[in-house]
């Protein structure tokens, strides 16, 4: 059975946010943060597009974090989002361990130094080899 709620941690490394399932339609689910207000909302959208058992092709898994906030001056809805896609071929040419390596490679880039440079339009250089548990507040 699918989970009804889960907890994620903010970039400060200590603030936990609880997300509760708001909707489920086919392969797509939406999760709403327990502290949402009408003018300040956090959502997580998850979608699993799986091929039928025994068939070839690629399974696609998508996670999107979305923050919607009403601009108090203009009344406009302002949205920021971050997401990632994992595509897993049903062909054994690329083994499951390689998919794990790709996920680990991506997670290595989720450091403050890399992301601050990246969202300013640059490609950072340096060593982003992160060992041990992932810590988003690691410099």
More confident residue, 118 or 35: 35
Q: Where are the beta strands (DSSP E) in 1-139?
A: 5-9, 16-25, 28-33, 40-49, 58-70, 77-89
Any domain includes 139: no
Any domain includes 2: no
- Domain range for 108 is 95-134
Name the band, by pLDDT with cuts 50, 70 and 90, for residue 80: very high
* Coil vs helix vs strand at 26: coil
pTM exceeding the 0.75 threshold for the entire prediction: yes
- If asked whether residues 16 and 78 sit together in one domain, one would say yes
The total number of structural domains in the chain stands at 2
Range of 5-14, 50-59, 95-104, 105-114 with top mean pLDDT: 50-59
- If asked whether residues 13 and 44 sit together in one domain, one would say yes
């Amino acid at each position: 059975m699918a989970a009804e709620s889960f907890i994620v941690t903010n970039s400060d490394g200590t603030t936990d946010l609880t997300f509760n399932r708001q909707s489920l339609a086919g392969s797509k689910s939406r999760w709403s943060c327990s502290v949402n207000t009408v003018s300040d909302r956090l959502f997580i959208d998850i979608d699993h597009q799986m091929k039928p058992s025994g068939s070839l092709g690629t399974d696609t898994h998508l996670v999107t974090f979305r923050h919607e906030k009403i601009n108090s001056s203009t009344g406009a809805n302002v949205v920021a989002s971050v997401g990632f896609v994992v595509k897993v071929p049903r062909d054994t040419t690329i083994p499951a361990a390689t998919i794990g390596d790709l996920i680990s490679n991506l997670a290595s880039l989720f450091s403050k130094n890399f992301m601050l440079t990246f969202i300013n339009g640059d490609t950072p250089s340096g060593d982003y080899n992160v060992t041990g548990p992932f810590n988003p507040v690691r410099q």
